[in-house]
């Protein structure tokens, strides 16, 4: 495909991710929330694009992921899908759409799939949500799990500190990961947990483990695209590597435009009809 930075431009599937784990090839995953960003992320060779409910923070300016609605996630996912040719597109099920009733969960899951054209869904939680995951899988929808610092439970945690440092929570995470893999999740995201625990889980389950703040032994990595491009100032967790400082680049560009307009330097003779 023209403009793509990778040689293998075949559409990524859940099966391909499984093969990547088997052959030791790392999986690159990033978030996107709109068409223009999704085109860039897809063209640069990211394997999985997550339409994260972090859209609540990055796109809407909320303090948590809790306020984003099903309709808003559908809007974001539909926009992303239009920009993607290669990556597997995974959409987060937002808070409240799968925790209350498994029947509701499958209805909401079907709506996201039908109205967005995305490839799979991600749900936060362990054994508590297995009944919902089972029904969604039975409807033919691939599910990615998410354990560790699950942001939809931030009010229960009361802190964004590293999870599962204590043995009881680490044990629960181990058995949750096993249960998610056994029920048929195609991958599991592990967020902000000790690297040693993530390594152990990665080696003990057959499905790909994607880490964020979970060390280098995971089968793949995910970051919020606004964070890794340096569009968010003031969010600097230890796990975040910034690959650009777009906040500065964009501020300078906009500032230059303002200066040019005020100085009657834009538009010039070549920029008019």
Q: Which residues bind ligand KIV (CB under 6 A)?
A: 31, 50, 52-54, 92, 189, 191, 212, 222, 224
Q: Which residues contact 5 (CB under 8 A, 6 or more apart)?
A: 43, 44, 45
Q: Which residues contact 251 (CB under 8 A, 6 or more apart)?
A: none
Q: Least separation, in Å, of the C-beta of 215 and ligand KIV? A: 15
Q: What is the DSSP letter of 67?
A: T
* Catalytic positions: 191
Q: Least separation, in Å, of the C-beta of 131 and ligand KIV? A: 22
Indicate the burial class of 91 (C-beta count within 10 angstroms; 0-12, 13-18, 19 or more).
Answer: buried
Q: For residues 52 and 220, which CB has a smaller minimum distance to ligand KIV in the complex?
A: 52
DSSP string, 15-54: HHHHHHHHHTPPEEEEE--SHHHHHHHHHTT-SEEEE-TT
Q: For residues 54 and 136, which CB has a smaller minimum distance to ligand KIV in the complex?
A: 54
Distance between alpha carbon 120 and the CA centroid of its chain, in Å? 12
Q: For residues 47 and 191, which CB has a smaller minimum distance to ligand KIV in the complex?
A: 191
Q: For residues 59 and 217, which CB has a smaller minimum distance to ligand KIV in the complex?
A: 59
Q: What is the chain's length?
A: 273
Contact 148, 188 (CB under 8 A): no
**In which element (H, E) is residue 183 found?**
helix 167-183
Give the residue carrying structure tokens 């195609």.
186
Q: For residues 18 and 239, which CB has a smaller minimum distance to ligand KIV in the complex?
A: 239
- Residue whose Cβ sits closest to ligand KIV: 52
In 28-159, alpha helices (H): 35-43, 55-58, 70-83, 102-116, 130-138, 154-157
| Pairing of the two strands 187-191 and 209-212 | parallel
Q: Least separation, in Å, of the C-beta of 66 and ligand KIV? A: 12
Q: Which tokens go with 8? A: 């293998």
| Pairing of the two strands 220-223 and 209-212 | parallel
Q: Least separation, in Å, of the C-beta of 268 and ligand KIV? A: 42
Q: For residues 54 and 202, which CB has a smaller minimum distance to ligand KIV in the complex?
A: 54
Q: Least separation, in Å, of the C-beta of 194 and ligand KIV? A: 17
Q: Least separation, in Å, of the C-beta of 266 and ligand KIV? A: 37
């Amino acid at each position: 495909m023209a403009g793509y930075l990778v040689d293998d431009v075949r559409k990524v599937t859940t099966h391909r991710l499984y093969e990547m784990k088997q052959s030791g090839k790392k999986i690159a995953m990033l978030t996107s929330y709109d068409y223009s960003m999704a085109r860039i992320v897809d063209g640069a060779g990211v394997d999985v694009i997550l339409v994260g409910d972090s859209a609540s923070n990055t796109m809407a300016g909320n303090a948590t992921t809790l306020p984003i609605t099903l309709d808003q996630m559908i809007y974001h996912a539909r926009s992303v899908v239009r920009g993607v040719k290669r990556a597997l597109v995974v959409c987060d099920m937002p808070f409240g759409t799968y925790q209350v009733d498994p029947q509701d969960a499958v209805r909401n899951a079907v709506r996201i799939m039908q109205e967005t054209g995305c490839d799979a869904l991600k749900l936060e939680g362990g054994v508590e949500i297995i009944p919902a995951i089972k029904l969604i899988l039975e409807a033919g929808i691939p599910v990615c799990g998410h354990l560790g610092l699950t942001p939809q439970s931030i009010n229960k945690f009361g802190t964004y500190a590293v999870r599962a440092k204590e043995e009881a929570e680490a044990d629960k995470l181990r058995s949750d990961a096993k249960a998610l893999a056994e029920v048929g999740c195609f991958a599991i995201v592990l967020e902000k947990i000790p690297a040693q625990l993530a390594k152990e889980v990665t080696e003990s389950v057959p499905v790909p483990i994607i880490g964020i703040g979970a060390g280098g032994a995971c089968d793949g990595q995910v970051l919020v695209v606004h964070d890794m491009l340096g569009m968010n100032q003031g969010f600097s967790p230890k796990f975040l590597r910034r690959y650009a400082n777009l906040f500065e680049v964009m501020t300078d560009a906009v500032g230059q435009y303002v200066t040019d307009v005020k100085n009657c330097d834009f538009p010039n003779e070549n920029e008019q009809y």
